[in-house]
Amino acid sequence: MAIRVAIVGLGSRGQDWVREIRTDTGYELVACVDTDGDALQLAATKLNVPQGQLFKTLANALDAANCDAVIVAAATDYHTEICEAALERGLGVLVEKPFTLRLDDAVNLVRLAEQKKAPLVVAQNYRYMRAYRTAQRLVREGALGQIGLIACQYFRVPHEMAPSLARLTNSILWGMGIHHLDALRYILGQEVVGVLAENFTLSDGQLPQGASLQTLLAFENGTRAVYTATYESSGHEFFERGQEFYARLTGQHATLHVFQRWLFLCARGKWPRPVKRGARTMSEERVLLRQLERALLHDEEPESSGRDNLQTMAIAE
């Protein structure tokens, strides 16, 4: 029997989840929730969601529809109360990143989920992009040897973003940094034990404090990382939709360069060689849905669980 799902938040990510659920035979969409009437109407016309499945509050949706799980794609500052409402009813939850805006709230939600024996998955989908999975494989196989230093940079030109993100302090951290910091943990299989960070906005910037970020990270096995990210870059508006990402992992035996979706391995004494990412057998969202499904049906601990994500939330905090 298909897992019955309610989706909360019908912005761009919520719409993505509607499409993903509809193409997954393991799931059935039974409710869509948004406090914005225009968003509900858009779901009805653009996504062909029946009027009987549209609700302005989660409580009404859960009272009317027999749900097994809730996908939370609403603005980040509402994540805590939405997750809590679903978990209180013992429902499985898949919540978009960032999990919450405060570590204390994330800890309380994990405790509630474990108390209710309800699965809690955080949608850190960058873990499952092919470039990151390939980097993880090379690290785990020992192709680089012990990793000593990582340099990671992300640049994006000023752009239109969701108002819920644009109004936040530390927008670059919550919008993209949370992805990259989590992905570094995933690739290395190490936890962070020290953080030194500076957040700022350029003098001519239009966003609140924290549109740019510089961070030094110390990992438990001695690896050090330098991470820089900004929403205030310029000069590359026509490349990759105004985004640039580069990571350099320096190991004992080799250095791995990751530039957008291209990877190059430079082993000592050998010519640099490109590394294939492999076929994309399923979307990153589908990987997360499989984790939620196995947790609901077989009590399997999700790889991207709320408890695992507490370390990422601690780094962010």
Per-residue model confidence (pLDDT) at position 283:
95
- Rounded to 5 degrees, what are φ and ψ at 246? -145, 135
**By the 8 A CB rule, do 260 and 240 touch?**
yes
Nearest to 183 by CA among 56, 312, 64, 303: 312
- Rounded to 5 degrees, what are φ and ψ at 155? -130, 135
Per-residue model confidence (pLDDT) at position 204:
86
Q: 158: cis peptide before it, omega within 30°?
A: no
Which 8-state DSSP code applies to residue 120?
Answer: E
Q: What pTM was computed for the model? A: 0.95
Which portions of the chain are predicted below pLDDT 70? none
Per-residue model confidence (pLDDT) at position 235:
84
pLDDT one-digit tens code per residue, 139-166: 999 999 999 999 999 999 999 998 999 9
**By the 8 A CB rule, do 305 and 122 touch?**
yes
Buried b (16+ CB within 10 A) or exposed e, 298-310: eeeebbbbbbbbb
What percent of the residues of the chain are helix, what percent strand, and what percent coil, each to the nearest 5? 40, 25, 35
Per-residue model confidence (pLDDT) at position 42:
87
Residues paired with 255 in a beta bridge: 250, 266
Per-residue model confidence (pLDDT) at position 112:
98
Per-residue model confidence (pLDDT) at position 311:
98
Q: Hey, is 31 helix, strand or coil?
A: strand
**By the 8 A CB rule, do 18 and 32 touch?**
yes
Nearest to 11 by CA among 130, 157, 165: 165
Alpha helices in 151-218 (DSSP H): 163-166, 171-172, 178-188
Cβ neighbours of residue 13 closer than 8 Å, sequence gap 6 or more: 73, 96
* CA gap 76, 260 in Å, rounded: 26
Nearest to 139 by CA among 147, 148, 131: 147
